[in-house]
Amino acid sequence: MLVERWVPGVAAARGYRREWLRSDIVSGLVLAAILVPQGMAYAELAGLPAVTGLYTTIACLVGYGADAGSIPVTEGDRLIGMITDRDIALRAVAEGRSPNTPVRDVMTDDIKYCFEDDDVAQVAQNMAELQVRRLPVVNRDKRLVGIVALSNVAQCGNKKATSEMLRGVATPH
């Protein structure tokens, strides 16, 4: 479905079970209780207003909750970069940039990608070598057509590709 290709987390939401709600709320509150004060303290240590750390922490938690650890940046349908919570923290907040800073100024522009017709085993090996959990997918005209995630490879049925990728991605770097 088109929405699932462009909005991370939609596929997971379709399989969400009501009985998970209580534990997910508790987990979210625990994460917020730990991370919000830390984010505010780090902002102050960096010489920024504490509210900057609050907003950054909330933005990162929302991205995490939506399973959107990295978001493609495009001009039209051409992929020009990726932005992650790490990019926001290191290139925007830590440098004291304004909330009006263009995404282009903080995104990662040295992007790695795969082609839509690449073999899944090769993509998994590439993800393992790069130690990434998500990889943009482009067509041969280098137009963005989707994102392949760790979970996509895990569900493809190719056990060798899955174990190779998990071994590489899980390795500390």
Best CA proximity match to 61, nearest among 85, 41, 40, 88: 85
> Does position 115 have pLDDT exceeding 90, yes or no?
yes
Which segment of 7-11, 26-30, 97-101 scores lowest on mean pLDDT?
Answer: 7-11
Domain boundaries, the chain: 1-72+83-110, 112-173
pLDDT, position 128: 84
> Does position 164 have pLDDT exceeding 70, yes or no?
no
> Does position 114 have pLDDT exceeding 70, yes or no?
yes
What are 17-49's pLDDT values in tens digits?
Answer: 788 788 878 877 887 888 888 888 888 888 888
Check if the beta carbon of residue 44 is closer than 8 Å to that of residue 96. no
pTM of the model: 0.58
DSSP 167: H
Residue length of the chain: 173
Distance from chain centroid for Cα 121: 22
What are 130-159's pLDDT values in tens digits?
Answer: 888 788 999 998 888 888 887 777 776 666
Query: Hey, which CATH number is domain 112-173, 3.30.499.10, 3.90.1150.10, 3.10.580.10, 3.30.70.360?
Result: 3.10.580.10
pLDDT, position 1: 47
Q: Beta strand pairing status for 114-115 and 134-138? A: parallel
Q: How far is CA 96 from CA 53, 70, 89, 140, in A?
A: 11, 21, 10, 39
Give the span between the Cα atoms of 69 and 47, in whole angstroms. 26
Q: Around Cβ 124, how many Cβ atoms within 10 Å?
A: 30
